[in-house]
Structure 1
Amino acid sequence: MKRRHLEVGRYHGLGTWTVLCFAFLYLPIGILIIYSFNASSLAMTWTGFSLDWYAKVLRNDSIQFAAVNSLVIATISTLFATAIATAAALALVRGGRFTGHTASLGLVTLPLVVPEIVTAVAVLIFFANLNLNLGIGNVIIAHTTFCIPFAFMPIRA
């Protein structure tokens, strides 16, 4: 079978269309970033360049607490997910073929195809049905569950 190469030059206007799509996606983000340095509290009037808003965010105790929680959750769930994914990869790659090998592989990689919001709601419903107090431990468990396939795929390779 003869291979055909895609000739992008044949499609007139593709470059323009691509630039317009990227502008549509990234221009609002760029404008938001520019206006984050505005000294005015009103978004529509530019009064000058300022870093005051960033200083206020960094002084906010709630933001600092949330940032520390995020780092703790990310670190612990990454360590757990990597350890579990390594064990799963070793079992599935070096363990040879066994009954349920394909099912096990599918189970480990299933969170890759399920939207994150579906997983989050399912885990929340699961924890609520168990009458567990929702806290940082449950968030670590949920994040570990979500991160396992993302660690498993490159480790397995």
Structure 2
Amino acid sequence: MQNRILVSACLMGQAVRYDGRAKPLLHPAIEKWRAEGRLVTICPEMSAGMPVPRPPAEIGDGATGEDVLAGSARVIESTGADVTKELLQAAENAVTLARQAGCRYALLIDGSPSCGSDFIYDGSFSGRKQAGNGVTAAALKAAGVEVFSDREIERLIERISE
């Protein structure tokens, strides 16, 4: 099947987010792609063994997923626990699944320290957003997967139909 799409499990209605909730993306294209067998679902954090619910986590010091991949930044939970190793494993799992399933595209929840692609939080746990990729989004992009946020579904539809 062409044009397979790796998609965040929370967008598919699975209650896997840090707060134990889902964030379903309701759009006719999602239902169409599901019926066509194009969607490959993953929660990167859960694939790395992280629990639900779990404390919120942010990439520290205003850094990005690329910085975490390069080893120059850490991912810290609001409790102070370092979950960098888990998020690196999550990213590796997502890249492996995307390759195995032939996903050329990914549709990921924005804001997450793992899946964010337009914005992530700045590491201060104050709600401040910054432009940047989460660890999984950065790893997928580095692996040649085109990443779209949940707010960019119209762009993804256009891209797939090209």
Q: TM-score, normalised by structure 1?
A: 0.26
Flag the structure with higher helix content. Answer: 1
Greater strand content: 2
Q: Which has the higher Rg, Structure 1 or Structure 2? A: 1
